[in-house]
Structure 1
Amino acid sequence: MLAGLQNVTFEFGARAIIEDTTWHIQPGERIGLIGYNGTGKSTLLKLLVGQYTPSSGTVERSRTTSIGYLHQDLLSFDTNDSIFEVALSAFERVIQLEKEIEEIGKELERTGDEKILIEYTDRLHELETLGGYNIHHKTEEILQGLGFSNADLQRPYKSFSGGWRMRVLLAKMILQQPDLLLLDEPTNHLDLPSIEWLEKYLLHYQGSVVIVSHDKYFLNRMVTKIVELYQQTLHIYNGNYEFYETEKAVRLDLQQKAYENQQDYIRQNERLVERFRAKASKAAMAQSIMKKLDKLERIEEASIERPNIRINFRVDKTPGKVIVELDKLHKQFGDNVILNEAKAEIERGDKIALIGANGKGKSTLLRIIADVESFEGERKWGHNVEESFYAQHQLEVLNVNNTILDEMKECGSQMTDVELRTLLGCFLFSGDDADKKIKVLSGGEKARVALAKTMVSKANFLMLDEPTNHLDMHSCDLLIDALKKYEGSLILVSHDRYFISKTANKIWEIVDNEIKEFKGPYDEWVAWKERMAKQQQAEQQAQKNKPAVTEAPAKKPAPQPAPVATPEPQANAGQPINKELKKELQKQQRIFKQLEEKIEQLQAEKNQLEKSMSDPETYADKSKFLQTETAYNNIAAQLQTLNKEYEQIFEKIVELEG
């Protein structure tokens, strides 16, 4: 065991965070620590590293266990050193050795003493053992993986914003390679490429990792165990987030049934007490029953903590077919050109996710659409468009002297106080929180108020910049549900892939200073990108294997961001058509189309079975559950086989066309 809790209780004042909890972290584990906001996930990490002392029980740590802990408080660190030097400081002993070797080398040159020579070679050997000759390369590699360019590496740490500073500190922590890595919401500071890089890196990390995150995609791909903090207890699930969701539904169903059975038992016994209490001959029996009820360990109601509340939008006006038209957009900051001659159009019903790496201009484009950023070119609103823009820098528009409830009332939504309080519950303001003044709120709380205001604005076009940053998973799910039902149009910037996959029906990406549109949801866009990468790889390989010819090859059209359709036979102009080749190509295309149809059919069946498996009624009938589970596993296996065949046929078609 690396670290853990043994029968730990921890309290803030009268409020218990955990009660009599045991949790052991073993070597090589990748754990997702989850729970509603405010339940104490970050507190647990602080207990593990010794920043807090438990009220009772013990925090166990091996003497030899090294722990790395990434958290928001680290941002108080500041320095004039370059980010490369900050990250490189992870190799404290190696840097010390380099200085010692330099000093001993000078001494050796001066004296030629044999003892100093031995000392010099010993230091060189230790440097080699610690991998000291590779530290500069490793540091560059990690920083670049987290999104820094070569030009950034020598820039002062203090010149970067909070999010980028956190990346530098994450790089330093990864380079230290502690036995146990504790990461508190690391993906909040990363763009999509960096999140994907971190996923791949952590999958092969030699130590153990505990990560607090609300990114479901990240947890599904990275963790092998979920630990949920729920009702002052840790519930452990040996699987990824999808496994946890399925198993939790079963556990809550069983807990709810046990709770209802116990309530029936309590009511029956209380009725007996009432009947016997007045009779002297039965008073002792009544007393005995009451003592038994007092000693009874009460089962909590399963659905007690956070009920599912529906957020309903009210859209007053229906806009015209075109929401906004962008033409010949040009935007640059100094020498950095973001957009050049860019054009795009947002139509009624579009729900667009604007994605890509940080620094590509996503938020800039969103601000241009919202008309709060200067630019060259044209931006035209359509007919009857009522827009609402949410971004964290919009927080200054909040009236700091208002209570949260008063601020919500000023939106003109005509919702009652009860409706507004219910809505605020979705944004993590429960009970009396709604009566707090804006001026006493933290930055994250103000962001949630601004987002709630956007939601009740009656706008028919929403512009949302990182709306999930300060929400927990439950609130994200409520927001997803609301945006699915939203009758208006929207464009959003987010690094939360699960959120994007559930809300967007189109993807925008800024490529070569232009806006590229993909007409389809995120999962299809990812599949398309992978197919394009494979196609490009196959074409490059075919080009390498192709014998040299004297005439120049025909110019290929630039690939367009649209789903790959069944490839059509092509013939090079001026060359005779190989009939056998054409026949084989047509045969492969038929197989390709049949495979596509079969995959689509099986995917629909799989989705239906997933719904059945998430239905508590399925678990009530054991034979029905086993039957459903077997059918699901069979279809999943078939899909895996067909997808491999699909890729092979596609590559064959590309080869035949070449």
Structure 2
Amino acid sequence: MISTTNLSLFFGGQELYSNISLSITKQDKIGLTGKNGAGKSTFLKLILGMYKPDEGSLSVAKGTKICYLPQEIISRSNEKIIDEVCNSNEDLTKISDRLDEINHQLATREDYESDSYLGLLDELADLNDKFNVQGGHGVREQAEVVLKGLGFSPEDLERPMGEFSGGWQMRVELAKLLVQNPDVLLLDEPTNHLDIESIEWLEDYLKKYSGAIILISHDRSFLDGITNRTIEINNRKFYDYNCNFSTYQVRREEEMVQQVQAYNNQQREIAQAERLINKFRAKSSKASFAQSLIKKLDKMNRIELDEVDSSAVAFRFPEPNPSGKLVAELEDVGKTYGEKEILSDVRFNIGKGEKIALIGKNGMGKSTFIKMLVGDTDYEGTIKLGHNVNIGYFAQDETAKLDPNMTVFETIDEVAVGEVRKNVRNILGSFLFSGDDTEKKVSVLSGGEKTRLALCKLLLEPYNFLILDEPTNHLDIVSKEVLQDALKEYSGTVLVVSHDRTFLDGLSDRIYYIKNKNISIYFDTVNDFLKQLKDDKFNTNARASSGKKNKSKAKEKVNHKEKRELENQLKKVERKIEKLEAEIADLQNKVAAGDYEGEEIFSNIEDLNEKLSANMQEWETVTEKLID
């Protein structure tokens, strides 16, 4: 559907791509990766025709429908969300408008035998066929499914676009693309404005998508879950592999090792040949031998090492002064905006050195809770910070707070004090701002560069409690890994909100989950917690329908005695599950309140979770026997 031949593109007098040839088919789900500024978004715009190649060509098959989601978009629509999505397919909208027009004419005209009247009937039939083939009658249903998956409630669908923030409007733009079912989806960082649960829904949706996808994302889990092909842009070249991102990284590293080995072997061979040539070329008896070596070197296919941009952020958080054992105590904490209650009766303690992932759907109060902790908004109840606690805060809109008229150096130099001022350039260098880069205005920086600059400010003081609200937005995969490693080594306490599952799963040792106006604590990795969340939803639905859906089949295949025994077994298992869940909740509440001594309580929670998992498995097995 899409192909490039010897394509080259220049930006600002520098070559961005060099001699690129590739083809993209309908079966391809491509992860387009590379560092910030490598040219990923530019390549999507080339496909759209927004830019033209300086050399070579790019062609798109005739009739190919392409839809594009940029990183940011400004919507001025004030239509209801459901109407905005349903009307996004221009072809269907034109057909629908023409059908309305024809039906109006047929209802008002009386020249039933005229050629023009009969022509309208023929056109009506043709348009109805097209409308059906393109799924016109199912658009609203599909729109509702997609919007719900992206986090909108049924009530939201009737609200106008203007009532929603830019992040939620981006979700609507994504929904508009998905319901159009284009041949090619171009998605530039589609997860930036989604919570983890919506990302998982979108991942499942795109796995089953029938068209081609070219996806820019710095979310490793998301890329691995969807893509079957990876193209990395690095130093003007495209490295193309038919596998997902993680597999590509392994294969690419193996190839680089082999390439270096082959290069070194060839260099030794060349050096040996040149020594023999220099030794024998002056001797008449060996001159022909020397000439043969010269010809051999001239014909040799010289191995060139790939230029790999290995620059990466490199930093560690300064060692903080220790805080007290309790970093924060919360008692009967709540928050309301007008008549809307966000949080209610929140009570727990945060202990020294904990690495906490704060998770919940967008709109549940994650950022609000963080603002309550740092004192940026009022609240009911009591939040008491522990002894010697010093908070370093990265807000979700931290990059927007940067002064666009200041340079990179001025931004850091303005807030650096004492001995730190002597190391400003070194600190900036560790965040890849060196040389002329330090004199760039903030206004010209990319999203990733602004995030790096904002994070850089956190190194200027040794905070012992870091509160980070979406610090990974716009960071490339390598920079995220460096930030994750720095936070792992950090001896202070961390509370972080992020929608990147890979980043959180390798970092946090407990989950704070916001739901139903409260915060529950789980001692799981993020991936285990999300799996449990899915299982809980499945089992809740399964329990509600148990014994009803397949009642007739159960009667046929399980005799009365066996059925009674299975039902008794099922009741016993359900009682065990309820008891275990209550015991786990009780211990978790004690941990949250700081009402425990020693670390034994954590191993008890782990043991109970293992027993709960075994009983859940037994419950599923018995249920399957009942309905088989």
TM over 0.5: yes
Residue of structure 2 equivalent to 1:524: 528
Q: Distance in 2 between matches of 1:139 and 1:520?
A: 35
2:520 aligns to what SS in structure 1? strand
Q: 1:341 corresponds to which residue? A: 345
- Equivalent residue for 2:79, pick from 81, 95, 107: 81
**Equivalents in 2 of 1:429, 1:294: separation in Å?**
44
Judge which range, 404-413 or 18-27, deviates more.
404-413
Q: Which residue of 2 aligns with 1:570?
A: none
Residue 168 of structure 2 corresponds to: 164
Report what 2:409 is aligned to: 405
1:383 aligns with 2:387: yes
Given that 2:183 and 2:211 are in contact with CA atoms closer than 8 Å, whether structure 1 keeps it comes out as yes
Question: Structure 1, residues 375-403: CA drift from partner, whole Å, max 9, x if none?
Answer: 11111010111110001434576566654
- Alignment correspondent of 1:578: none
Residues 96 and 533 of structure 1: is their aligned pair in 2 closer, same or farther, counting only changes over 3 Å? closer
Q: What is the aligned partner in structure 2 of residue 14 from structure 1? A: 13
Instruction: Give the deviation of 1:277 after TM superposition.
Output: 12
Distance (whole Å) between structure 1 residues aligned to residue 165 and residue 282 of structure 2 = 74
Provide the C-alpha distance between the structure 1 equivalents of 2:461 and 2:263, rounded to a whole number of angstroms: 41
CA distance in 2, matches of 1:80, 1:46: 27
The CA deviation at 1:181 is 0.9
Partner of 1:34: 33
Distance change in 2, residues 1:316/1:205 (3 Å): closer
Contact persistence 1:528–1:564 (CA under 8 A): no
Gaps of 5+ in 2: 552-562, 569-573, 588-606
How far has the Cα of 1:412 moved from its partner?
4.2
SS where residue 468 of structure 2 aligns?
strand
Provide the TM-score with structure 2 as the length reference. Answer: 0.81
Q: 1:434 aligns with which of 435, 438, 442?
A: 438
- Please give the alpha-carbon distance, in whole angstroms, between the structure 2 residues aligned to 1:271 and 1:478: 46
| Aligned counterpart for 1:651 among listed residues 615, 620, 624 | 620
Residue 437 of structure 1, CA deviation: 4.1
Change (3 A) 1:180 1:413: farther
Instruction: Judge conservation of contact 2:270–2:297 (CA < 8 Å) in 1.
Output: no
Work out whether 1:63 is the aligned partner of 2:62.
yes
Between the aligned partners of 1:396 and 1:367, the Cα distance in structure 2 is 16
Instruction: Return closer, same or farther for 1:109/1:55 CA change in 2, 3 Å cut-off.
Output: closer
1:265, distance to aligned residue in structure 2 (A): 5.7
User: How has the CA–CA distance of structure 1 residues 437 and 413 changed in structure 2, closer, same or farther, with 3 Å as cutoff?
Assistant: farther
Q: In structure 1, how many angstroms separate the alpha carbons of the residues matched to 2:445 and 2:531?
A: 42
Contact persistence 2:448–2:476 (CA under 8 A): no
Q: Secondary structure at the match of 2:50?
A: coil
Q: Which residue of 2 aligns with 1:620?
A: none
Task: Give how far 1:331 is off.
Answer: 0.7
Quick one: distance in 2 between partners of 1:646 and 1:29?
42
Match of 2:375 among 365, 371, 381: 371
**1:45-56 equivalence runs, <5 A:** 45-56=44-55
Alignment of 1:254 with 2:291, yes or no, is no
Partners of 1:264 and 1:445 lie apart in 2 by: 42
- Cα separation, partners in 2 of 1:25 and 1:438, compared to 1, 3 Å: closer
Tell whether the 8 Å contact from 1:65 to 1:180 is kept in structure 2 after alignment: yes
Contact 1:403/1:436 (CA < 8 Å) preserved in 2? yes
Counterpart residue number, 2:102:
104
State, as a whole percentage, how many aligned pairs show the same letter.
36
Residue ranges of structure 1 left out of the alignment (5+ in a row): 566-592, 598-642
What's the CA shift for 1:256? Answer: 2.7
Deviation for aligned residue 1:97: 2.8
Q: Aligned ranges for residues 7-406 of structure 1 at < 5 Å?
A: 7-72=6-71, 75-112=73-110, 113-114=112-113, 115=118, 116-261=120-265, 264=268, 299-300=304-305, 304-307=308-311, 310-395=314-399, 398=402, 403-406=407-410
Contact kept? 2:8, 2:53, Cα under 8 Å: yes
Amino acid at match of 1:31: I
Per-residue CA deviations over 1:501-550 (Å, capped at 9, x if unaligned) read 0111111111221110112221221233244345435543557589999x
Matched residues in 1 for 2:227 and 2:418: separation? 42
Please give the per-residue CA displacement for 1:362-383, whole angstroms capped at 9, x wherever unaligned: 0110111111111111110101
RCO comparison, higher one (Cα < 8 Å, 6+): 2
From the superposition, tell whether residues 437 and 274 of structure 1 become closer, same or farther in structure 2 (CA, over 3 Å).
Answer: farther
Amino acid of the structure 1 residue aligned with 2:67: G
Match of 2:474 among 466, 470, 475: 470
Q: Secondary structure at the match of 2:155?
A: helix
Partner of 1:500: 504
Shift of 1:490: 0.6
1:153 Cα deviation from its structure 2 partner: 2.2
> Does the aligned pair in 2 maintain the 1:185–1:212 contact within 8 Å?
yes
Asked if structure 1 preserves the Cα contact closer than 8 Å seen for 2:313 and 2:432, the reply is no
Change (3 A) 1:139 1:92: same
- Show the counterpart of 2:592: none
- Give the AA of the match of 1:38: G
Cα distance in 1 between the residues matched to 2:272 and 2:42 = 41
- Give the corresponding residue for 1:572: none
CA contact (8 A) 2:75 2:169 kept: no
Residue 323 of structure 2 aligns to a residue whose secondary structure is: coil
Q: 1:188: Cα distance to partner?
A: 0.8
Q: Alpha carbons of 1:136 and 1:558: their partners in 2 closer, same or farther (altered >3 Å)? A: farther
Q: Deviations over 1:398-435 (max 9, x none)?
A: 56665433443543484586x65555455443442123
**Distance (whole Å) between structure 1 residues aligned to residue 342 and residue 542 of structure 2:** 31
Distance in structure 2 (CA, Å) of the matches to 1:250 and 1:498: 23
Secondary structure at 1:187's aligned position in 2?
coil
What one-letter code is carried by the residue in structure 1 that aligns with 2:333?
L
SS at match of 1:383: coil
Give TM-score scaled by structure 1 length: 0.77
Q: Count how many residue pairs are aligned between Structure 1 and Structure 2.
A: 573
Q: Residue 517 of structure 2: which of 482, 496, 513 is its match?
A: 513
Residue 488 of structure 1: CA displacement?
0.7
Mapped contact 1:413–1:457 kept (Cα < 8 A): no
Deviation at 1:648, TM superposition (A): 4.2
Task: For residues 268-291 of structure 1, give each alpha carbon's deviation from its aligned partner in whole angstroms, at most 9, with x where no partner exists.
Answer: 678789999999x99xx89x9799
RMSD: 3.9
